[in-house]
Amino acid sequence: MPFRMLDEYLKNPHPPDLFRLVWVIGGFVITALLIQARVLFPWWPLHPAGFALAHAGFSLPWVWFPILLGWVAKSLIMRCGGMQLYRRGIPFFIGLILGDIFIACVWSLLFVLLNMKMYMFFPG
């Protein structure tokens, strides 16, 4: 979908949309305020990532379950092992994410080389 939208914009250029720009700036300001609230108040319940995901549109049905699994894993690690176990586990979870992206890149390259239709790594 993003490539189709880009193709449409390149074929039929439009003038800048000030209405959308105002909403993008508003989203940036709200996210910045949520980040600042998380820094200043440790008890603050709202996370900036939650705000971004709430407005993710078509992507949320694809990522809600991995987010749930991450939350459950973090909660269990924090309850059972505390901050020390959490910090020791960070490289493992970063490795999971990077491994997923690496494999998606390998598959994409393979399908391009073989001139085949590839699976969708992330919704668009």
Identity at 91, one-letter amino acid code: P
Can you tell me the distance from the alpha carbon of 124 to that of 120, in angstroms, rounded to the nearest whole number? 8
Note the pLDDT of residue 100.
86
Domain boundaries, the chain: 1-55, 59-124
By C-alpha distance, which of 74, 53, 50, 73 is closest to 63?
A: 53
User: What are the φ and ψ backbone dihedral angles of 115, each rounded to 5 degrees?
Assistant: 55, 50
Cα 15 to Cα 5, 10, 20, 24, distances in angstroms: 15, 12, 12, 16
**pLDDT, one tens digit for every residue, the chain (124 residues):** 677 888 888 898 888 889 989 999 999 999 999 999 999 998 988 889 888 888 777 777 777 888 889 889 999 999 999 999 999 999 999 999 899 889 888 888 888 888 887 776 665 5
Can you tell me the distance from the alpha carbon of 1 to that of 62, in angstroms, rounded to the nearest whole number? 15
- Tokens 């909660």: give the residue: 75
Note the pLDDT of residue 84.
94
